[in-house]
Structure 1
Amino acid sequence: MNSMTSDSLYDELSNWLHRRSIQGWDVETLLTELVEKLNEAGLDLIRVHIGMPMLHPLFVAGSYSWSRGKGIVAETYDRGLEKSDAWLKSPVRETFLNGKEEARYQINGRDRDRFEIFSRFAAEGATDYIIQLTGFDDRKTNLIGQEGTIFSWTTNAPGGFDEKAVALLQRLRLPLSAEIKGLSQRRLVGDILRAYLGNYSTDRVLSGQIQRGDGDLIEAVILFCDLRQSSKLAERYGFQGFLEVLNDYYDITAGAVIAGGGEVLRYIGDASLAIFPFERYERDIDACDAALAVAHDAMKRAQTINEDRKARGEPSLEFGIGLHTGKVMYGNIGTKERIEFTVIGSAANEAARIEAKCKELSQTVLVSDAFAAIRPGNWHSHGTFELRNIGHPIEILSPLNLQQA
C-alpha cells in the first residue's frame, strides 16, 4: 500500500462513502469508484465481488463482480441456489458454516486447490483472497440463515495483502455493508413494485404518482383474457390443483403479454387485463402489432403445454382473448388505505365484452372494428353486436390467419 497510514486512508474512504451516498448512486458506481480508490492506495485488486439479497418472485440473490480488464458483471441467482454446486462448493458456504464473518485464503499457496474458483483465480495471477460476511438481523432467508452482504477481495500482489491492507478492509466491512443494505433496499422496493405492478405502473409510482385519484387519460390497446371451463377445472382439481392450473394458464397468457412488452394490470380470478399504451410505440399500429403477436405467442404456448397435458391425460387449457382500442383513464383507484393502478372507462368494459364473445363464436382471438381500423389485415367479420351494458354496437372480427392478420 501507499505511504498513507491505515487510519488516514480509512478516514478518506469513509468521508468519500458518506458524501457519495448523500449524492445518490447505485451499486455499480460504488464498486467502480471503490476499486479505483483502493488500487490507487496500492491494494493491487484484480477481482472484487459483492453479493446481496433480493426479495423477488424468481431470484434469491444478486451480485456484482468487478475484475481487471473486464469491468463489472451483474448476475441474479434463482431460488434453490442453496442446492446448487455454486453454493455447495463455495468459500462463502464454508465461511458461514464455520460461524465466521471473515476468512482468508492463500490462493498461491496451500489453498490453491481448496475450491474450484481458486484454481481459476490462481491461473489469472491471484495470490490472496479475503471473504467477508455481514448479516442483517432484521431480514431472514432460507439460504444462509439470515440475509446480508458478501464481499470478497482478490489481489495479485506478490506477497498477498499486507497487514495495512487487511486492517483497512476489515474496517471498511461494516460501513460498506450498511451502504449496500441501503442500496439493496432501494432495489428491493423496485423489484417488488415491478413484480406486483409491472414496469409501466412502477415507473409512475416511483415518479410520485401515488395518491388516490392520480391518473392520466391514455390511448391503448386493451387486452382481456379469460379461462374457459374454469368451474369444471376447479371442481376437478380442488384448491391446490386448480392453483397450479391457473399458474400454467397465466404462464401461457400473461407470460406472453410480459414477453411481448405489454403491461398486465390485473389478475381477476381466472381473467386478466393488460394494456399496450400507444405512447410507448412509435405508431399506433405498432401497439396493435405487439398485441397480435402476444395473442399468437399465447396460442403457441398453449399448444406446447396442452400437448404435455394431453399426454398425461389432463384436459386442455382453453381461453379467449379480446383486443380493443380506445381511451381509458389510467391511474390510482380504491380507498385511501388500499389503492391500485388500473384502467377505467368504457373501452376497458368493451374489451371484456368482446372477449366474452369468443366462446359463443368458437374463436380464441377476437378484435373490435376499432382495432381493425388501426391495424388493417386479413379479418373475418362475425357481424355487429349489441353487447351487454355497452351503449353502441361493435363489429367483431377474427383473424383468418393470426400469423398473417
Structure 2
Amino acid sequence: MEQGVKNEWVNWHCGQPIDVWPAPVDHPWVADYTRWLTGPKARLLDSEKLFDGLCGRLTEAGVPIDRCVLLFKTLHPVYPGHNYFWTRERGTWLVPLSHDFDNSERMLVSPYQEALDRGTAVRFDVSHGTETRMPILNELAHEGYQELVCELIPFTFGQTPGITFATKAASGFTAEATALLRAAVPPMATPLEVRAQRLTLGAVLRTYLGAAPGSNVLDGVIQRNDVRRLTCAILLADLRGFTEKAERWPSDSLLAALSSYFELLDRAVRRSGGDIIKFMGDGVLAIFPVEEAGSSRVACQRALDAALTARMQLPSINAERRGRGEEPIDFGCGLHIGEVAYGNIGSMERLDFTVIGTAVNLASRIQDFCKTLAQPVLLTADIASEVDMPLVSCGKHRIRGITTPVRLFAPADANAIRTGSLQSA
C-alpha cells in the first residue's frame, strides 16, 4: 500500500474499508486452520482457548500479530460482555466489560465502532504516532505499534463481535498477512457464536436459579420431579417489617433497600461456600450441602459464618442509610440442618429448581422466632451441636407443623452481632 494513502488514513483518523484489501490467498495454512477449527479437539475448547488457538496459529503462519483483542457481548446482570486479550509476551487473558462500556468514550470512539458504523472491516496506520480522536490508537502508537486491523464477526442472532489485530512490524501487515487475517476470521463466527450462546445461557441460569441449580439445568437436569435427596445446612433469612415498609416507602426506596439486603446476604453466602436457592419476597433461602463441604460440621459452620458475616456488615449499611436520611433495615436468620429434596418441582409447563422438605419448613419457622425472642440468629440443636461458637439456650418452643417442641440456641454475644463488633465473625 502506498505511503500517501496510509498517511491519509492517519489524517482522517479512520480506516480503509475491506473492499480494497487483497483477496484471501490460496494458502495451505487456510486448509490446515479450517481442519483444526472444525476438528474434535477444537470442539472441546472454550472461547478463551479457541481465541488463543487462533492467535497461535496465525503467529505460526508468519503473520506478525503482536496484540489481538476479541470483543463480544453476553447477557449478564453485571458483565454484559468480555474482552479477550492476547499479546506475544503474555498470552491470553479475559477482561469483563461493565454495563456502561457501550456508552464510554473508549467504545464510542474506537476502531470497533468505526467498523460497526461502516459495516465492514477497517485498518489503521499508526506508524507516525499522530494524535487521533481514538484513544486506543494513540496508546498503541506510543507503544510502538505500526498498524491495526479490525474485522467484524457477524453472528446469526444480530450480535456483531469484533476482533482487532495489531502489529509492531515496521512494514505493517503485508498483503499476504492481511489475506490470511481475512481468511481466518469468518470461519470463527459459528464456533464463537455457539460458545457465546452457552456462556449467555449459563450466566442467565446461574443468575436466576443460583450457581449449582443453574449448572444442573445446563447439564440437562430438566425433567419434572427429577430430584435427589441431599443433606444440607439451611439458612433462611427474612427482612424485618417488610409489609409495613412496603406500605410507607416509595417503591424505588423499597427496591433499593431490598437490593442492599439481598446483595449483603449473597456475598456472605457465596464467601462461605453456599448457594442462594431462592429470593422469596423479602426472604432468602440458602443451602450448604454436606457433600460439597465434606462433613456436616463444616456445612453447619459455613451456614453460621454466612449468617454472622451478613449480620456483622449490616451496621455499616445502616450507617450509610442514616447518612442519606433513610430508615435502617434489619433481618433475622434461622439455621437448621437436615435432608431436603433438591431438583425440579412444578407443573408440566412451569418448573422451579428448588429445595423442599420438613427441614426447610423448620428453618423458616425458626427464623420467625428471631422476632419473638429478639435474636438476630437462631439455631436448632441439630446445627448447634456441630458449630464452634459459644451459644446460649433459648429454651424449647412449640413450632407450627412440628409435633415435638424444638430447642433453640443463639450466639452468646447477640449484642456484638447487632453492633457489628463480634471479633470471631
1:113-152 matched pairs, under 5 angstroms? 115-136=134-155, 138-139=157-158, 147-152=159-164
Match of 1:281 in 2: 293
TM-score by length of 2: 0.86
1:253, 1:138 → 2: CA distance?
36
Whether the aligned pair in 2 keeps the contact of 1:148 and 1:181 (CA below 8 Å) is: no
* Alpha-carbon distance in structure 2 between the residues aligned to 1:113 and 1:246: 46
- Change in Cα spacing, 1:69 to 1:112, as seen in structure 2 (3 Å) is farther
1:343 aligned to 2:363? no
Which position in structure 2 is the counterpart of 1:63? 83
Cα distance in 2 for partners of 1:283, 1:125 equals 56
Show the counterpart of 2:231.
219
Aligned equivalents of 1:277 and 1:235: distance in 2? 37
Q: 1:328 touches 1:347 (CA, 8 Å); kept in 2?
A: yes
Q: Find the partner of 1:358 among 360, 364, 370.
A: 370
Q: Is the 8 A contact 1:47 1:68 kept in 2?
A: yes
8 Å CA contact 1:149–1:180 kept in 2: the answer is no
Name the structure 2 match of 1:104: 123
Assess, with a 3 A threshold, how the Cα gap between structure 1 residues 269 and 248 changes in structure 2: closer, same or farther: same
| SS of equivalent to 2:401 | coil
How many residues get paired?
394
- The equivalent residue for 1:250 is 262
Q: Structure 1: which 5+ residue stretches go unaligned? A: 140-146
* 1:82 and 2:83 correspond: no
Residue 94 of structure 1 corresponds to 114
Note if 1:26 corresponds to 2:46.
yes
Q: What is the aligned-residue RMSD (CA, Å)?
A: 2.2
Cα distance in 2 between the residues matched to 1:169 and 1:20: 23
Deviations 1:145-179 (A, max 9, x none): xx321100112332111112212222333221232
Deviation at 1:16, TM superposition (A): 2.2
- Aligned counterparts, 1:293-372, within 5 A: 293-372=305-384
What is the alpha-carbon distance in structure 2 between the residues aligned to residue 251 and residue 46 of structure 1? 41
Q: Distance in 2 between matches of 1:297 and 1:376?
A: 15
Relative to structure 1, the CA distance from residue 155 to residue 313 in structure 2 (aligned partners, 3 Å threshold; closer, same or farther) is: closer
Match for residue 73 of structure 2?
53
Matches within 5 A, 1:155-170: 155-170=167-182
Aligned counterparts of 2:152 and 2:287: Cα–Cα separation in 1: 44
What residue ranges of structure 2 are gaps of 5+ in the alignment?
A: 1-23
- TM-score (structure 1 length as normaliser): 0.91
Greater shift in the superposed pair: 344-353 or 258-267: 258-267
Query: 2:156 and 2:353 mapped to 1: Cα distance?
Result: 33
Determine whether 1:291 maps to 2:298.
Answer: no
Q: Deviations over 1:349-384 (max 9, x none)?
A: 000010000000111111111111111431111101
Check whether the contact 1:21–1:179 (CA below 8 A) recurs between aligned residues: no
- 1:306-341 per-position Cα deviation (integer Å, ceiling 9, x unaligned): 112222332211111001111111111111221111
Cα separation, 2, equivalents of 1:209 and 1:108: 55
Cα distance, 1:195 vs. partner? 0.6
Are residues 1:41 and 2:53 paired?
no
C-alpha distance in 2, partners of 1:203/1:178? 23
Moved over 6 A (4+): none
- For residues 235-274 of structure 1, the aligned pairs below 5 Å read 235-274=247-286
Query: What amino acid is the match of 1:328?
Result: V
